[in-house]
Structure 1
């Protein structure tokens, strides 16, 4: 480090990776390198915004370097740097960028001279020209006339052309002060190769075709190089002078909660108390439970002290709007710990009755605003979001951003394409990455692959582009576009700030999560169908509690399509836990999570519940904390209470523990908290075995774990969905299918499962079906009629056109092809033919139904001849037909709508296509296993439903197989899975041999081998003259990769 310039040079131009594929270092890396090199400061000047500003601020705080920021803009195809002097200057640049984005497409910032003149002020900004993309003489004259104090930045010149430019700049220096800069694009020369590749990725070119815009010297250089290059001292010292003239700090950004909802003449405290008092009488019409009033006073006092009333009332206003429009909604997460939230109608759980911990939500020690998450019907959430925009204006409201960063698969894809790898090689590498193989750690002698893996590793974690948060919105009393630039999101009528939720939290901005939940949509549609058909009038808050039929169904694991308890892991737990009450559901939802599993709490709880182990407590103080869960900690709140009551944690220390547990793989480091808690528990008299289990549980919560309040909120919806399925299965399935996509299962699994349980599902009918599925009343039962929404490739617009013609009395047969297809649909001829065939096979009213065999087929194929203009085909259709087998019918059904009302594919396959070297008499069905003895070996066959390998499973792989009688749970140990992974990847169904395992009434099969067929059945005879080849043997499969 050169002492001559130590702490005297400030870098004025430094892009980070938050310029999105236009720089190759994180903000933290730039600041650390600048500090190590002895710089006074470094300005982060990313393109078009302040995306990386908060990360730079955190790094400067940690390292001790002065925080400096600016922005690089493109003006008339030339680069311009604007450095922020003070808070007013920062606000004006936010407005400038927001205005430039307004009414433009995403990522299309446009700023003209008029906007610069309006928002850039030399009193609050430094205007600096970087040494590239020089402006025209006309634009240069504009700068000189309007911004008298601007700097022209220079860096090292080597070529003859650059020498001429250097002389030109020196002449210009008589009028314009010059400042030295390395014009940084990465913190170290070793990142130049990555930067060059990123330019190729951005331009969608191969590396060999891409000319790098800078060389390897565009990085943080040692100060000694300034002396070697004979850089004029005034150029260097001027950079520090500019830096010292800047004082803006992110802490100056002041945020205030909005108050639009506040009645005239009342304070927030008065209005909040008024609402709560009114709700207290309504919620507890038969009298307040003990401690309710005390808890309310405690919460109101704390909210007033922390000045959070505006926040709670802002959320109340949003929820009030949703309820006024009939939109189902419910708060979740730690907000359910609050009695105030319960009284305001934000949450549906009574925290006093459940003895929930309010400090898990709000406390003096937290030093952060509470975070309220609200679920809305996923189909109507947009109404709520647009209400917020209308109420507060787009200058005061915006969605939080999310960073779409490179992961292994996407890094391999983009980097490999830039390096010239073939699509086939990249497909194979991406497939391995998808199956969680450490592909970038692969040892290889191939130099090209070595380079790809090295560069993909460097690229991994860099932001690729900005997305929008699932529902986090910021609303402000003041202008939000003066706190952060606001830009359009990809979705219509949405706009986002330039920071993610961690940045927003760091700056103390209010975020309300307006989330979409499919189950709320399903429940609302169920209630509407029940009322429409005069079956019942129900609401979420009027469902009968503790219904025996509902809990009996749940305990049998008949939970396909139910909220939160339909996964393989949940279905395996239900027969063992045998839920009989609402709190049992709360435990069920929370116990199948990494926290309790890694902490070894699952089996002790189950043994105690079944009476196989006595309930005991490791310390007398643990009894009131763990009594509800039989002495076994399951929830995050219990760990916090243990830390306070037994380990002697202060409320502030317990809150730090909460934050670490709630980080879920992000910025929390749980290991130090777990070790400290273990030490302090043992010091208080807790035995080592129990404290170690608590330690492991805390680490598990870092992967994923539920607070009790969150599990309780979800349990309400779990019970509601189960009650409706138990009592009105046809109605519930109709609502569920009309609410897709959601849940764990595809339509065909829902169809087969509900049909096994007695639901009558009717095929699509051209006369009776609508767009949505609907309920039809039969003599003694209800039936579900499939709607046109089930047809793959059929647009709703085309369907509505057909329905309009049908309702006008036009014959559907002759117009179906033109009516149901349009330029926006991918409803091909094959799917159309199957749709018509299904209709004619069940239509007993049309003249065509009287025809048989070839005549009937030919008649309706003739109806497909296109009218004018032809939308399906220009060719004359003349076809020879033969009868279809059940298997061919099945495949055509799946081609039409990803499902079938034929028999189960596994049953038809065994009947028509069986080509395994095992007799069918040896195959056991899922329904037969319950009567068999543990340890016996069986063959099972079925469709692959899902394939999972949870992080807590130590390499074990769990596969759900579906046959005609139900679901089978298959377990692979790591060696067995490795041996048969290739078979699983290419198959829609498998034949497996394994040993039966039984725990209580839960059965599973420990797989020993998979039996391959004699030949792949990927070719079948078509119903036409030509052959139809099934290109994907996974046509019927639906599974998640581990």
Structure 2
């Protein structure tokens, strides 16, 4: 066992690391074949591949680029295509969107903390977006308030030394980028560009011997430029502190450009933005619910799935100047994306479905099984050809048996006496049942879609709730941001998570409620939970008195 200590346990490959050489890699490094990949891998780790003569690149896949590409395709269909690389970088709508913090789905800017920072920083240029992306990381995050206060004149800008004003003006005296570290060394201490790059690397690695050497070199170079030793030593220590988490500006700028492009898309073409964004989260119902509520805030309609209109993926529909998002058939639970692609192919080949039997006679039951049929029915996808959802769900076995018998006849090429297809023979007679109404209909829809789409259980109570001075979540958010704390709210319980306090062992709970304008979460401390536990069950309609703060 002692002989095994310190040896490598296993080999693995970097998630995004690609090496490139000027000749066959076998002449430069030992390779091995990863059984999980078709691409050979270097046996050297990333520390040694560069000294061996290879260039290492990190290629990261961004789904945001796919969102932009898909949105461009939507725009092309209505003659409004855009070249993302030629957008005007002074677009007022985009910066207004960012300043309001309405950046759900915007690359790098959608976390709650980032949205709060955007409201405070009020970015007005691509340079400020670049700075924000660089600052909003562990380490430099502590300088965000300093940056904002200096930007708005609430604090004096300190450039460390008069000769550094040009380098630090853009960032209000805050050292943010690795390029600034290198430039400071060149201007203040006479470093060459190559020496400055070595300084940047040394500061990143924080090796004491190398840092001691660089500090002495920096002070000596600064003294030659008549900068006192005490001042240059202080500046070096400050630069070293920032350099430890300094960001590469070109990297940050590339990210900022994508942030601006997605922000521009959301601010100027929200229909295409939401359709493209929801397509990339097709199987994530929690994220789809967030986008749905955000689309409502932007007054973008999201239409219920329709077997004769929707695609397997999210799509857009325009009627004159009014656009809407068509809900994806493939986003319905338990139906399967490939099965819905089959349905769309059948529809495009043979035309719209006339009724439920026409649908069953044309689709392949190996693709559209009973679970898929039930999911489509509960989601309301058949409403345009068979509005009684309950009838379809309760007699799904009969319908699928018919679908399978038609498929079997089709496979055996049996024809009737008149030479026509036998698909219409023996259509089952469905039992008459009362359709679902109100909450029952919505509950089934909720189980299929993951959130309330065509309506909300509290819709019929809106007037009564208003009389009781209930505040809906869409109204509560701006009120909380402006300083209001106490609200009377109402909602349907979606989820309840009970946890035990590490200190006392008492149970408390996080409860998620849904109202007609969105979702909100409440913390129930132990005392309140004991009083309310029985009514805080999923599906229950509850009125709550809350104290809220904008987070």
Q: Name the TM-score, length of structure 1 as normaliser.
A: 0.41
- Aligned partners of 2:248 and 2:481: how far apart in 1? 35
Residue pairs, 1:613-632, within 5 angstroms: 613-632=155-174
The CA deviation string for residues 371-429 of structure 1, in whole angstroms up to 9 with x for no partner, is: xxxxxxxxxxxxxxxxxxxxxxxxxxxxxxxxxxxxxxxxxxxxxxxxxxxxxxxxxxx
Please tell me whether residue 539 in structure 1 is matched to residue 83 in structure 2.
Answer: yes
For residue 369 of structure 1, what is the aligned residue in structure 2? none
The CA deviation string for residues 518-544 of structure 1, in whole angstroms up to 9 with x for no partner, is: 11111122222211111x231122222
Specify the SS of the correspondent of 1:629.
coil
- Aligned partners of 1:549 and 1:543: how far apart in 2? 12
- Aligned residue pairs: how many? 490
Q: 1:487 to 1:638 in 2, by over 3 A?
A: same
User: Are the counterparts in 1 of residues 391 and 431 from structure 2 also a CA contact under 8 Å?
Assistant: no
Q: Specify which of 128, 137, 140 is matched with residue 596 of structure 1.
A: 140
Q: Specify which of 124, 128, 136 is matched with residue 584 of structure 1.
A: 128
Q: Specify which of 448, 451, 460 is matched with residue 896 of structure 1.
A: 448
For residue 868 of structure 1, what is the aligned residue in structure 2? 404
- Aligned partners of 2:522 and 2:62: how far apart in 1? 37
Q: Specify which of 181, 197, 204 is matched with residue 655 of structure 1.
A: 197
User: Are the counterparts in 2 of residues 593 and 706 from structure 1 also a CA contact under 8 Å?
Assistant: no
Cα deviation for residue 932 of structure 1 reads 2.5
User: Are the counterparts in 2 of residues 647 and 677 from structure 1 also a CA contact under 8 Å?
Assistant: no
Please tell me whether residue 470 in structure 1 is matched to residue 11 in structure 2.
Answer: no
Residue pairs, 1:721-800, within 5 angstroms: 721-740=262-281, 746-800=287-341
User: Are the counterparts in 1 of residues 511 and 521 from structure 2 also a CA contact under 8 Å?
Assistant: no
User: Are the counterparts in 2 of residues 813 and 860 from structure 1 also a CA contact under 8 Å?
Assistant: no
Q: Specify which of 983, 989, 992 is matched with residue 523 of structure 2.
A: 992
Specify the SS of the correspondent of 1:594.
coil
User: Are the counterparts in 2 of residues 619 and 685 from structure 1 also a CA contact under 8 Å?
Assistant: no
- Aligned partners of 1:938 and 1:570: how far apart in 2? 26
Residue pairs, 1:991-1030, within 5 angstroms: 991-992=522-523, 1012=529, 1013-1015=532-534, 1017=536
Cα deviation for residue 564 of structure 1 reads 1.3
Residue pairs, 1:656-695, within 5 angstroms: 656-659=198-201, 668-669=205-206, 684-686=229-231, 694-695=239-240
Q: 1:484 to 1:551 in 2, by over 3 A?
A: same
Q: Specify which of 902, 913, 931 is matched with residue 482 of structure 2.
A: 931
Q: 1:468 to 1:606 in 2, by over 3 A?
A: closer
- Aligned partners of 1:496 and 1:944: how far apart in 2? 51
For residue 250 of structure 2, what is the aligned residue in structure 1? 709
Specify the SS of the correspondent of 2:71.
helix
Q: 1:720 to 1:548 in 2, by over 3 A?
A: same
For residue 176 of structure 2, what is the aligned residue in structure 1? 634
Specify the SS of the correspondent of 1:784.
strand
User: Are the counterparts in 1 of residues 312 and 329 from structure 2 also a CA contact under 8 Å?
Assistant: yes
Specify the SS of the correspondent of 2:109.
coil
Specify the SS of the correspondent of 1:615.
coil
- Aligned partners of 1:921 and 1:693: how far apart in 2? 49
Cα deviation for residue 782 of structure 1 reads 0.9
User: Are the counterparts in 2 of residues 770 and 788 from structure 1 also a CA contact under 8 Å?
Assistant: yes
Q: 1:860 to 1:747 in 2, by over 3 A?
A: same
For residue 525 of structure 1, what is the aligned residue in structure 2? 70
The CA deviation string for residues 885-909 of structure 1, in whole angstroms up to 9 with x for no partner, is: 54x656644543444424579x78x
- Aligned partners of 1:853 and 1:796: how far apart in 2? 21
Q: 1:709 to 1:468 in 2, by over 3 A?
A: closer
For residue 55 of structure 2, what is the aligned residue in structure 1? 510
User: Are the counterparts in 2 of residues 941 and 991 from structure 1 also a CA contact under 8 Å?
Assistant: no
Specify the SS of the correspondent of 2:61.
strand
- Aligned partners of 2:505 and 2:196: how far apart in 1? 47
Cα deviation for residue 715 of structure 1 reads 1.4
Q: 1:836 to 1:793 in 2, by over 3 A?
A: closer
- Aligned partners of 1:818 and 1:26: how far apart in 2? 64
Segments of structure 2 that go 5 or more residues without pairing to the other structure are 220-226, 408-429, 495-499, 514-519, 541-551
- Aligned partners of 2:104 and 2:361: how far apart in 1? 36
Cα deviation for residue 982 of structure 1 reads 7.3
- Aligned partners of 1:642 and 1:978: how far apart in 2? 50
User: Are the counterparts in 1 of residues 282 and 330 from structure 2 also a CA contact under 8 Å?
Assistant: no
Q: Specify which of 89, 93, 104 is matched with residue 560 of structure 1.
A: 104
User: Are the counterparts in 2 of residues 487 and 498 from structure 1 also a CA contact under 8 Å?
Assistant: no
For residue 605 of structure 1, what is the aligned residue in structure 2? 147
The CA deviation string for residues 744-780 of structure 1, in whole angstroms up to 9 with x for no partner, is: 9812111111121111111211111122221111243
Specify the SS of the correspondent of 1:776.
strand
For residue 5 of structure 2, what is the aligned residue in structure 1? 25
For residue 551 of structure 1, what is the aligned residue in structure 2? 95
For residue 487 of structure 1, what is the aligned residue in structure 2? 33
Specify the SS of the correspondent of 1:719.
helix
Q: Which has the larger radius of gyration?
A: 1
Q: 1:811 to 1:743 in 2, by over 3 A?
A: closer
Residue pairs, 1:207-218, within 5 angstroms: none
- Aligned partners of 2:490 and 2:88: how far apart in 1? 40
User: Are the counterparts in 2 of residues 561 and 743 from structure 1 also a CA contact under 8 Å?
Assistant: no
The CA deviation string for residues 700-756 of structure 1, in whole angstroms up to 9 with x for no partner, is: x1xxx5221111111111111111111110012112223347999812111111121
User: Are the counterparts in 1 of residues 305 and 380 from structure 2 also a CA contact under 8 Å?
Assistant: yes
Cα deviation for residue 868 of structure 1 reads 3.1
Q: Specify which of 323, 339, 343 is matched with residue 802 of structure 1.
A: 343
- Aligned partners of 1:1010 and 1:645: how far apart in 2? 63
Cα deviation for residue 678 of structure 1 reads 7.8
- Aligned partners of 1:1015 and 1:678: how far apart in 2? 66
Specify the SS of the correspondent of 1:783.
strand
User: Are the counterparts in 1 of residues 365 and 400 from structure 2 also a CA contact under 8 Å?
Assistant: no
User: Are the counterparts in 1 of residues 310 and 326 from structure 2 also a CA contact under 8 Å?
Assistant: yes
Segments of structure 1 that go 5 or more residues without pairing to the other structure are 1-14, 17-22, 28-51, 53-461, 663-667, 872-876, 946-974, 994-1007, 1022-1042
Q: 1:1009 to 1:758 in 2, by over 3 A?
A: farther
- Aligned partners of 2:506 and 2:233: how far apart in 1? 40
For residue 835 of structure 1, what is the aligned residue in structure 2? 376
User: Are the counterparts in 1 of residues 68 and 276 from structure 2 also a CA contact under 8 Å?
Assistant: yes
Two-structure CA RMSD over aligned residues (Å): 4.8
